């Protein structure tokens, strides 16, 4: 093989390149082929140095300031109870209070685990009570701790998600429709609910006449139901007014009666499915309607492609079986439209204009015997 005169006739050209060693803080750094590798090594040393810096633990960020707080900035929940005694009492009843207990460092306990360091706030409130007003350039005592009512939904959700991110039901909240509509965690949940009144949702008179309906204290429902500000479905109805109207229709799922809840079908913290359903396709419906699940030897194509809602309205309807149309044949003819097509084997002005399709096609959700769903 021929080589230019300036190139040596050796395939391992780079391995013969001159090597010079430089001593940088006791470490030899190589220069090969005239390339200075010191910046790469210095960058590596800088990265390792930053990694060695202690990362502040949860709750150590000063409220609204973005400043790392010290352990001495925390006073403990007992100091909070001096002014916020009612909230402190309610918080002590929750499971979160038991979790954020003395087994954790001071900055991860009780009130300050969510509201941040409170020493400056407590001292400022004490000074204001003694008549000492803050200067013109000094913040007020009320702003020295994190208050969820003064921050955006995104900021509040980010603070809650520092802990509530391992559960798959809550890990998708950042992409949820609720957060996209500026609905934060504290809009639905209340960790120290004060106005725990009687439940306004009452079962129907028919239900009470046939079954004994237990009446629990409202505070027990609050503690057992994820610390919601209000029971389902009233909490959901406060925003979803159109859904509340659908559940007043004569044929409906028994949500108002307490037979099921909104969260039995929907995940309010986010989902990869439309309408934030807990499962994709027909899985949400077939959790209860197991006889419609299949798999069948002959599937109804509409169910496989579009799901149950191609024929049914899930919340409520004026039609039998929550159908979208009062007459079944009208619903079927929306897909089986062409009179002479293969999917409509009946002649024009024939059976499809005079009777219901399911009189013969009884297994309309799927069949293991006939492709026409006759049995």
Which is higher by pLDDT, 248 or 194?
Answer: 248
Looking at the chain, the whole-number percentage of residues with pLDDT higher than 70 is 72
What's residue 197's pLDDT? 60
Range name among 123-127, 195-199, 229-233, 368-372 with the lowest pLDDT average = 195-199
Which is higher by pLDDT, 195 or 187?
Answer: 187
SS3 sequence of 279-328: CCCCHHHHCCCHHHCCCCCEECHHHHHHCHHHCECCCEECCHHHECCCCH
Which whole number is the average pLDDT over 208-234?
80
pLDDT, one tens digit per residue, over 10-67 is 444 344 444 444 444 444 444 444 445 555 555 555 555 544 433 344 433 433 333 3
Range name among 42-51, 66-75, 220-229, 258-267 with the lowest pLDDT average = 42-51
Range name among 52-61, 92-101, 272-281, 360-369 with the lowest pLDDT average = 52-61
Average pLDDT taken over every residue of the chain: 78
Which is higher by pLDDT, 87 or 38?
Answer: 87
Q: What is d(CA 345, CA 176) in angstroms, rounded to the nearest whole number?
A: 45
pLDDT, one tens digit per residue, over 104-146 is 888 888 999 999 999 999 999 999 888 888 888 888 888 899 9
What's residue 61's pLDDT? 40
Angle at 364 between CA 358 and CA 369, to 5 degrees: 110
Contact 161, 154 (CB under 8 A): no
What's residue 352's pLDDT? 54
Which whole number is the average pLDDT over 355-375?
87
* Structural domain boundaries in the chain: 289-367
What's residue 347's pLDDT? 61
With a cut of 80, say whether residue 355 has pLDDT above it: no
Contacts of 126 (CB under 8 A, 6+ apart): none
Contacts of 318 (CB under 8 A, 6+ apart): 249, 250, 251, 326
- List the alpha helices (DSSP H) in the chain: 38-52, 77-80, 85-92, 95-99, 112-115, 119-129, 153-160, 177-180, 205-210, 218-224, 234-237, 241-246, 283-286, 301-306, 328-332
Cα-based torsion angle of the residue sequence 217, 219, 225, 230 in order, rounded to the nearest 10 degrees = 100
Which is higher by pLDDT, 282 or 217?
Answer: 282
Confidence of residue 221 (pLDDT cuts 50, 70, 90): confident
Q: What is d(CA 261, CA 232) in angstroms, rounded to the nearest whole number?
A: 6
Could you tell me which of 64, 153, 58 has the C-alpha nearest to residue 100? Answer: 58
Confidence of residue 199 (pLDDT cuts 50, 70, 90): low
What's residue 185's pLDDT? 94
pLDDT, one tens digit per residue, over 151-181 is 999 999 999 998 888 777 888 999 999 999 9
What's residue 107's pLDDT? 81
Confidence of residue 194 (pLDDT cuts 50, 70, 90): confident
């Amino acid at each position: 093989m021929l080589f230019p005169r300036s190139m040596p006739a050796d395939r391992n050209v780079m391995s013969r390149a001159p090597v010079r060693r430089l001593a940088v803080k006791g470490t030899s750094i190589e220069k090969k082929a005239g390339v200075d590798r010191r910046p790469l090594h210095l960058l590596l040393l800088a990265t390792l140095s930053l990694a060695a810096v202690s990362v502040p633990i949860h709750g150590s960020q000063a409220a609204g300031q973005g400043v790392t707080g010290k352990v001495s900035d925390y006073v403990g929940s007992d100091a909070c109870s001096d002014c916020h005694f009612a909230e402190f009492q309610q918080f002590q009843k929750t499971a979160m209070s038991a979790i954020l207990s003395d087994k954790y460092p001071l900055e991860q306990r009780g009130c300050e685990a969510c509201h941040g360091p409170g020493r400056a706030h407590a001292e400022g409130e004490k000074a204001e009570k003694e008549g000492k007003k803050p200067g013109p350039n000094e913040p007020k005592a009320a702003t020295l701790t994190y208050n969820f009512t003064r921050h955006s939904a995104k900021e509040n959700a980010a603070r809650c998600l520092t802990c509530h991110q391992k559960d798959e039901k809550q890990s998708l909240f950042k992409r949820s429709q609720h957060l996209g509509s500026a609905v934060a965690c504290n809009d639905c949940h209340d960790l120290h609910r004060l106005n725990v009144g009687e439940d306004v949702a009452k079962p129907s008179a028919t239900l009470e006449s046939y079954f004994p309906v237990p009446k629990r204290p409202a505070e027990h429902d609050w503690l057992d139901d994820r610390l919601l500000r209000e029971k389902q479905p009233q909490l959901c109805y406060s925003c979803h007014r159109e859904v509340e109207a659908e559940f007043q229709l004569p044929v409906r799922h028994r949500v108002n009666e307490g037979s099921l809840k909104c969260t039995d079908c929907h995940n309010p913290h986010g989902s990869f499915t439309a309408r934030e359903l807990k499962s994709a396709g027909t899985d949400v419906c077939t959790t209860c309607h197991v006889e419609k699940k299949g798999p069948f030897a002959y599937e109804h194509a509409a169910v496989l492609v579009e799901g149950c809602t191609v024929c049914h309205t899930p919340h409520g309807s004026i039609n039998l079986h929550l159908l979208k149309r009062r007459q079944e044949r009208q619903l079927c003819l929306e897909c089986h439209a062409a009179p002479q097509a293969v999917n409509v084997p009946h002649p024009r002005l024939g059976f499809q204009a005079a009777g219901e399709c399911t009189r013969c096609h009884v297994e309309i959700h799927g069949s293991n015997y006939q492709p026409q769903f006759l049995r």
